Structure 1
């Protein structure tokens, strides 16, 4: 299957993408991983991306599109993939359609993870991350450490990232509504959008998504 995963910041896209890709036996292709891989390997695209990032500028769509196309052309993605963080706007969505059309394939579904805005703010603003290892993540309401401010796993100090405060989260949501949400309408016109309520346990959301994909296939 060829799937695009969309949803606001804090919807759990990264977590769901990993579970769904494993269940469907397809690679999880995230924009963040694409950038990191190209930059660390020193590819031409990575060098181009870095030149913009070093100046604090957005990487142009054509560079991001080329990275995505290169990754989707690799052998492990021949039978399908799950895109997370790409496309991020309608221009990228149109470019993706053209890429797939040139290969004689098309998207199967666009999964839209739906989370109320107040819940997004609560999820992100309540996150606390370990200074020793950023994969150790806790939450003031949903996943409290045994000792406040201390990582259960390694004993490191837990802190709130600067961009995890409520004001910044609401700004990020505005950017999402302006830039990314229009792609949902773009794909809805193609009959590809499947909306998944993303509240509840991670496994419950994954089960909803898998059930929706099966029924969509049928």
Structure 2
């Protein structure tokens, strides 16, 4: 199996590149954002629990997110692996993900691919996206800069853990989409079993 942790700050092209990786290697993307929306919309027990925290303006505890992720990984799939998007964000979540992959899939995280883009380019991309997406968080430069700063602060320890394991690879996220995809594909080809 191929199990990829996909990193990239807002505006790095992570969503686009995830789709290319899925098509090329027959992977299933697990996005924590999608998991939350699915569980809340379908009023699962975990969805109700998550919503109870969100309704109070509180952060959903790690364990609820981990439980959602565990349930998703347990679902039968014909794919050849997973792309984990938006998780892990902390050292604790990294350990939890490694445990899930080992216990449920009898496998390990293959690689952490990180799309690297200069902050000024990220801001420019997000402001441009905000003009057409209708997303308010993409229309305000101050909010965008805060999101980028928060992303780096949160993910630094996770990147460090994968660096220590020799599984962290940075990819330049600036250039033609197909060129960036090719770089990502090359890294995945190196770890294919």
Output the TM-score relative to the length of structure 1: 0.81
CA-to-aligned-CA distance 1:88-111 (integer Å, 9 cap, x gap): 222111111122222321011110
CA-to-aligned-CA distance 1:140-196 (integer Å, 9 cap, x gap): xxxxxxxxxxxxxxxxxxx56245311111111221121122211111111111211
Structure possessing the higher relative contact order (Cα contacts under 8 Å, 6 or more residues apart): 2
1:18 equivalent to 2:19? Answer: yes
Q: Which runs of 5+ in 2 are unaligned?
A: none
Partners of 2:3 and 2:81 within 8 A in 1: yes
In the alignment, the residues of structure 1 paired with residue 55 and residue 131 of structure 2 have an alpha-carbon distance, to the nearest angstrom, of 25
In the alignment, the residues of structure 2 paired with residue 22 and residue 86 of structure 1 have an alpha-carbon distance, to the nearest angstrom, of 21
Q: Which runs of 5+ in 1 are unaligned?
A: 131-136, 138-158
Q: How many residues align?
A: 191
The structure-2 alpha-carbon separation of the partners of 1:163 and 1:123, relative to structure 1 and needing over 3 Å to count, comes to closer
By percentage of residues, which structure has more helix?
Answer: 2
Look up the match of 2:98.
97
Superposition pairs for residues 1-218 of structure 1, below 5 Å? 1-76=2-77, 79-103=80-104, 104-130=106-132, 137=133, 161-217=136-192
Provide the alpha-carbon RMSD of the alignment: 1.8
